[in-house]
Amino acid sequence: MHCLSFETESPVSRVMNSWSPQALVQKSLEARNFAYCPYSKFRVGAAVLTSTGSVFTGCNVENACYSAGLCAERTAISKAVSEGHTTFKAIAIASDLEDRVISPCGGCRQFMREFGSQWDVYLAKSDGSYKLMTVEELLPCSFGPEDLRAKQLD
């Protein structure tokens, strides 16, 4: 896996319809404000861009039963799926961290992988700068839906 540098300008090859990476990152930063995190006080927001250009946001939602909580990435993707979208171009993830980007947990990486390995992931800092990766780079040698398709045995 190679590391990519922080970007502040969108390369021409990364133009996403009328959405720029900065706009998607900004939406994830705004989504943080709705986080329900009374226990950790760690706000996370996400914004996912569908293949049709729609954007869905999500935030983390904690629960007194810790394992019942939801991460921002899964919230945003689930909102999109519940509206009929299952193909994605990109997701931006932001937290309140100032000195480094936020990275999705293992469960979220697998959740994202369910919908493909070749879409962009913008890992953002609170100042709006980001690191660009793909789902595949975040979860190499992954297990996906295609692995469950049984081959016909002769």
Question: Binding-site residues, please?
Answer: 60-66, 71, 105, 108
Q: Residues marked as binding for Zn(2+)?
A: 71, 105, 108
Residue 144 CB: number of other CB atoms within 10 A?
Answer: 15
CA distance 52 to 26: 19
7, 73, 83, 114: which one is catalytic?
73
Q: Is 123 exposed, middle or buried (0-12, 13-18, 19+ CB in 10 A)?
A: buried
Residue 73 is a catalytic residue: yes
| Coil/strand/helix, residue 140 | coil
Six-digit token string for 40: 């950790």
H, E, C per residue of 20-43: CHHHHHHHHHHHHCCCECCCCCCC
Q: Residues marked as binding for substrate?
A: 60-66
E runs forming strands in 8-142:
44-50, 55-59, 88-95, 120-124, 130-134
| Residues labelled as active-site residues | 73
